[in-house]
Amino acid sequence: MAIFKLLGACGVAISGIVFVKETLAYEKLKISQADAYIGLIEYIKNQVECYNIPIDKIIESCDRDILNKCGALNTGYKTVADVVNSANMYIDEEIVDILMKFANEFGTVYRDEQLKMCNYHINELREYRKKTDEKISKERKMHFGLSVCFAASLILLLI
């Protein structure tokens, strides 16, 4: 009889750990998408810095893999706003607003201002990525500890 109690408690602990992994998978998608937008903005910055190409040509020449990681699954984008609007967003709403601000203002100012905008938005996304990564680390430890403690308390109650 005690073996069944022990197996039940182990089942609860395992299900708790699986639950933690699934809930944190969404946070990992946020980090992945933030990395993709950092890559996109860095690509745009490099194109503006090296060449004098309009934004629609920059987006057309962008690597399809970067756009897919940004969440934009279609083709034929002309502007960054098109990419942001059509993407499946995992990142927080405030970061989407920052990206939309970048997308709407980019191309309307001089080259030096465009480079400054790119640097600013890259730094904002890196800060967001850093905070999200720290949050994942803390939540993983907390949820893992809670599920193990819950299983241990369940074993004590059942004995």
- Residue 159: the pLDDT is 66
**Residue ranges making up the domain that contains 99:** 2-158
Tell whether the model's pLDDT for residue 149 goes beyond 80: no
Number of domains in the chain: 1
pLDDT, one tens digit per residue, over 38-63 is 999 999 999 888 887 888 788 888 88
CA gap 148, 5 in Å, rounded: 15
- Cα 16 to its chain centre, rounded Å, is 24
**% residues pLDDT > 90 (the chain):** 12
CA distance 100 to 91: 13
The verdict on pTM exceeding 0.85 is no
Residue 70 has pLDDT above 90, yes or no: no
Tens-place pLDDT, residues 96-148: 888 888 888 887 888 888 889 999 999 999 998 899 888 888 877 777 777 77
Q: Which of 115, 40, 43, 111 is nearest to 81 (CA)?
A: 40
CA atoms of 82 and 76, how far apart (whole Å): 9
Residues above pLDDT 70, as percent of the chain? 95
